């Protein structure tokens, strides 16, 4: 089976055989467990060498999707193809060890009775386990754990254990690596540092990766593509910037960042609102709710609204505002130090960037 997968990869590179040979593709996959629908006709894909992030709240089916990719969960319908080779459908499934896919678990799943080196080479052939070659040594250096090989997991920090788990997943030279909330148990500073290193490492090795996370910042920092998931369904898959600017519905808009809406009357590619005419990304007509991101609002001294909360984050300030007419709350994000305090009266203006709108009642 592995030979077939490798041949598929070779065919796909520099050929005209189609995109299916350059993608990991999940098509119309459903998973039922104990009579309950966990995945509902899920379709996502990732190009070879890219990073796909599955973003969604807890319990939405993210981990089940990852387990299905790894071969640890049987699918009820649909199919999964790896660079043109079918690896799963409702009738058959290639065993996990034959998929050429590595996995990094949320709790790292290191063997406590084995040393770092023994953990890393555990899944390799017997000759490579007994005599780790220069490629393993190079991998240890790339991941930054060359000096830890004789230690046991219990003596390592969380970040060091994560690096060991990562090296173990990469040691068999997989075409694809799956990562299930890999940084969730690390403190903020280490999480940011490690995810940047991992992203750079995967790009250098040209490894396809699929991350699962509930953290929007992490998803946008890592993903070439982000697929937003909820209730067992993929709601939208796009590049992070497009996903943020063009969410398909109100739920996606609020899940991938702070979002407010103001009522308006759309005509073509603009809508009349209390903030004036706002440019729309797509033509619409009639009553709409116009999406407003905090960074799109500008403040001046005036009387449109009252500042009711000020959150200072060092690099920027987030204001919460209450408007006069209907006491609606809006948010405004500006760089640097706070310029207004709670109780100040301000005028609200829109930056003029194009945004999306949602028909009233939908």
Please give the Cα distance from 331 to 321 (Å, whole number): 6
**What architecture does CATH give domain 2-100+174-251?**
3-Layer(aba) Sandwich (3.40)
Tell me how far CA of residue 282 lies from CA of 270, 329, 355, in angstroms: 9, 26, 8
What's residue 362's pLDDT?
59
Long-range contacts of 89-98 (CB under 8 A, 24+ apart): 94/1, 95/71, 96/70, 96/71, 96/72, 98/1, 98/2
What's residue 185's pLDDT?
78
Tell me how far CA of residue 360 lies from CA of 109, 347, 355, in angstroms: 48, 26, 16
- Provide CB contacts within 8 A for 126, sequence distance 6+: none
Q: Model pTM? A: 0.87
Please give the Cα distance from 163 to 156 (Å, whole number): 10
What's residue 184's pLDDT?
83
Q: Domain limits of the chain?
A: 2-100+174-251, 261-359
- Provide CB contacts within 8 A for 168, sequence distance 6+: 102, 110, 119, 120, 122, 123
CATH 3.30.450.20 fits 261-359, yes or no: no
Kindly list the averaged pLDDT for each block of 10 residues, start to end, along the chain of length 362. 36 44 91 95 95 96 95 96 94 93 87 92 74 79 91 92 92 92 84 88 92 94 96 97 95 94 94 93 94 95 94 94 83 94 95 94 63
Q: If you search the block for the tokens 């709409």, which residue do you land on?
A: 288
What's residue 19's pLDDT?
58
What's residue 186's pLDDT?
82
What's residue 105's pLDDT?
85
What's residue 352's pLDDT?
92
What's residue 136's pLDDT?
85
What's residue 349's pLDDT?
93
Please give the Cα distance from 225 to 207 (Å, whole number): 15
């Amino acid at each position: 089976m592995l030979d077939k997968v490798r041949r598929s990869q070779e065919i796909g590179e520099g050929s005209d055989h189609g995109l299916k040979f350059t993608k990991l593709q999940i098509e119309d996959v459903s998973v039922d467990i104990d009579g309950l629908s966990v995945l509902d006709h899920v379709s996502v894909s990732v190009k070879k060498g890219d990073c796909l992030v599955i973003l969604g709240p807890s319990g939405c089916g993210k981990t089940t999707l990852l387990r299905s990719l790894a071969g640890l969960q049987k699918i009820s319908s649909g199919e999964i193809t790896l660079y043109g080779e079918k690896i799963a459908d409702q009738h058959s499934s290639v065993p996990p060890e034959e998929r050429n896919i590595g996995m990094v678990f949320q709790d790292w799943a290191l063997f406590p009775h084995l040393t770092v080196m023994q953990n890393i080479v555990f899944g390799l052939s017997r000759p490579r386990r007994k005599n780790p070659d220069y490629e393993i040594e190079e991998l240890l250096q790339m991941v930054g754990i060359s000096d830890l090989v004789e230690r046991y997991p219990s003596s390592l920090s969380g970040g060091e254990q994560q690096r060991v788990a990562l090296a173990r997943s990469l040691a068999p030279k997989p075409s694809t690596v799956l990562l299930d909330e890999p940084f969730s148990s690390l403190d903020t500073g280490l999480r940011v540092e490690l995810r940047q290193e991992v992203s750079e490492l995967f790009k250098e090795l040209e490894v396809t990766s699929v991350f699962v996370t509930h953290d929007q910042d992490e998803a946008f920092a890592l993903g070439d593509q982000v697929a937003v998931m909820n209730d067992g369904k993929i709601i939208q898959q796009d590049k992070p910037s497009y996903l943020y600017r063009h969410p398909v519905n109100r739920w996606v808009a609020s899940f991938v960042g702070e979002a407010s809406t103001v009522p308006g009357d759309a005509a073509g590619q603009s809508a009349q609102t209390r903030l004036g005419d706002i440019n729309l990304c797509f033509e619409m007509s009639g009553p709409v709710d116009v999406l407003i991101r905090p960074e799109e609002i500008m403040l001046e001294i005036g009387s449109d609204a009252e500042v009711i909360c000020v959150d200072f984050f060092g690099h920027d300030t987030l204001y919460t505002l209450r408007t006069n007419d209907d006491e609606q709350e809006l948010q405004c994000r500006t760089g640097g130090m706070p310029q207004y305090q709670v109780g100040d009266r301000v005028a609200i203006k829109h930056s003029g960037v194009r945004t999306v709108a949602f028909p009233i009642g939908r």
